[in-house]
Structure 1
Amino acid sequence: MFKAYTLFTLLFFVSVTVKAQDSVIPEISYPYLDKLITSAKIHYPKLTGYNDKINLARINVKRAGISWFDILTFSYIYQPNNTLNYAIPTTNTGTTVNRFLFNGLQLGVSLNLGSILTKPYTIKAAQEDLNIVRDEQNEFLVTLTADVKRRYFTYLLQKNLVKLQTQSYQDMQTLLKQTKYKFQKGEATFDVYNAALITASARAEQKLQAETNFLIAKSELEALVGLKLEDIE
């Protein structure tokens, strides 16, 4: 009984070990990975927010540039020629004298010295704000690219684990049927058959867990790229 159970266990784990040596590297498609990264750069909401911030910063730079006119203050006074004015009578003549030196439209321009001194710094600050947002966007693009790659590789890993666990489960089911047949014929003990049942149950659970992990990895990757993987060719 002990020898039969030992032989069964060794054969089973040798089979699993051989399958576990499979590699995911041949399945990596770098052109497809580039498409995933491009899709993430287009659809990921936070990156769209950075684009809006950059557009706003550009508007502020332009606004700061044309605000040079703020240092000038224009004013005017309109004094019609026919305005009635009180005249100051003189003792030597019977005529009156107009108190206003200038008549008609009078324009004036004044400069704000404080604005002249601070305006270059205002423009530079607006440009620096734009540069900061661009740097933040570039930094986020590097992080986003790395996250897409990591989740893509994880997706491939979980996909292969599903294949591995499915094959292991199918092999175990075949072995279980054989063990059951031998047990019914009296060629295998109950302990061997019971061990096969326990192992088959464990393989079924591992298969379900692998499938769940695969679906989670797929959904996490799709959350980054913004589309279903099936829609990206």
Structure 2
Amino acid sequence: MRYAVFLIPLFLITLTTHAQESLSKDVDYAYLEKLIAACKTNYPRVKMYEARVNIAENGIKKAKLSYFDIFSFSYLYSPNNNNRSVSPDLLSGYQFGFFANIGSILQKPNQVKQAKSEFKAAEYDKQAFDLNMEAEVKKRYFTYMQKVAVLRIRSSSILDINDAVTNARHRFEKGEETLQNYNQALIVQSDYSQNIVNAEGEVLVAKSSLEEIIGQKLEDIK
């Protein structure tokens, strides 16, 4: 029964700390926009989609310029030869020809239309990726801030728990507390310490995950 009485303040400490914490106060949306901007600048897949859009845009220009391939120009030079007595050429001098490929004329509009469709498709792919990328940056940022908040809560709680365990040890040394209850208090302290180690690891993992997508250390983004 005395052990239960001892544990109640520990749980009250944790519950009170949770009640005072709010993740929203830790979120910096201006800083989050900087993270998204850094991702757009650094993340390789962003550059890949930009390159695809540029390639598709160049495809439109190439398709339009290919209209000139429809037409061809040629000339033939026949020199005058007054000494020729048999079947003299009816035409002499330069002969010019201008030709148009009818099949190409019919195909070019569809080729330009297809190039424009490919350009729009590349743009839509990039827009979809940008939206997904922004959502992923936000998700990783919020996860990171959550892990930081949890670590702060547990770090704050362990200080009070350490004080409670110190008090329990003094009471045990005075004979006012049983060995069993004192050992239980040490177990609670050990569990909380392990939780802090776990929370620190989760913070590092979340930070690394966020830095992976933005391509920079968080400390470098002010």
TM-score class, shorter: over 0.9
Partner of 1:190: 179
Displacement after TM superposition at 1:78 (Å): 2.3
Q: TM-score, normalised by structure 1?
A: 0.90
Question: Structure 2 CA distance, aligned partners of 1:163 and 1:203?
Answer: 13
Secondary structure class of the residue paired with 1:109: strand
Letter in 2 for 1:61: I
Q: Could you report, residue by residue, the CA deviation over 1:47-87 in whole angstroms, capped at 9, with x for unpaired residues?
A: 11111111111111101011001111222222223598xx5
Of residues 190, 201, 220, the one that matches 2:190 is 201
Call closer, same or farther: CA 1:31–1:7 in 2, change over 3 Å: same
Letter in 1 for 2:114: A
Displacement after TM superposition at 1:207 (Å): 0.2
Report matched runs for 1:89-100 at 5 Å: 96-100=85-89
Letter in 1 for 2:41: I
Of residues 131, 149, 156, the one that matches 2:138 is 149
Question: Structure 1 CA distance, aligned partners of 2:40 and 2:138?
Answer: 13
Q: Could you report, residue by residue, the CA deviation over 1:183-221 in whole angstroms, capped at 9, with x for unpaired residues?
A: 222111111111011111111110011111111111111
Partner of 1:224: 213
Question: Structure 1 CA distance, aligned partners of 2:216 and 2:101?
Answer: 55
Secondary structure class of the residue paired with 1:105: strand
Query: Based on CA coordinates, which of the two structures has the bigger radius of gyration?
Result: 1
Say if 2:42 is the partner of 1:43: yes
Partner of 2:91: 102
Displacement after TM superposition at 1:104 (Å): 2.2
RMSD value, Cα:
1.6
Letter in 2 for 1:120: P
Partner of 2:69: 70
Q: How many residues align?
A: 221
Say if 2:37 is the partner of 1:13: no
Partner of 2:27: 28
Partner of 1:164: 153
Letter in 2 for 1:20: H
Displacement after TM superposition at 1:106 (Å): 1.8
Unaligned runs of 5+ in 2: none
Q: TM-score, normalised by structure 2?
A: 0.94
Partner of 1:91: none
Question: Structure 1 CA distance, aligned partners of 2:44 and 2:132?
Answer: 14
Displacement after TM superposition at 1:175 (Å): 1.6
Identity of aligned residues (%): 36
Question: Structure 2 CA distance, aligned partners of 1:192 and 1:80?
Answer: 121
Partner of 1:178: 167
Question: Structure 2 CA distance, aligned partners of 1:180 and 1:36?
Answer: 48
Secondary structure class of the residue paired with 1:166: helix
Partner of 1:90: none
Question: Structure 2 CA distance, aligned partners of 1:231 and 1:83?
Answer: 88
Question: Structure 1 CA distance, aligned partners of 2:69 and 2:153?
Answer: 72
Q: Could you report, residue by residue, the CA deviation over 1:129-172 in whole angstroms, capped at 9, with x for unpaired residues?
A: 11111111111111111111111111111111111111122222
Question: Structure 1 CA distance, aligned partners of 2:82 and 2:17?
Answer: 107
Query: Which stretch shows the higher mean deviation, 167-176 or 135-144?
Result: 167-176
Runs of 4+ in 1 over 6 A off after TM superposition: none
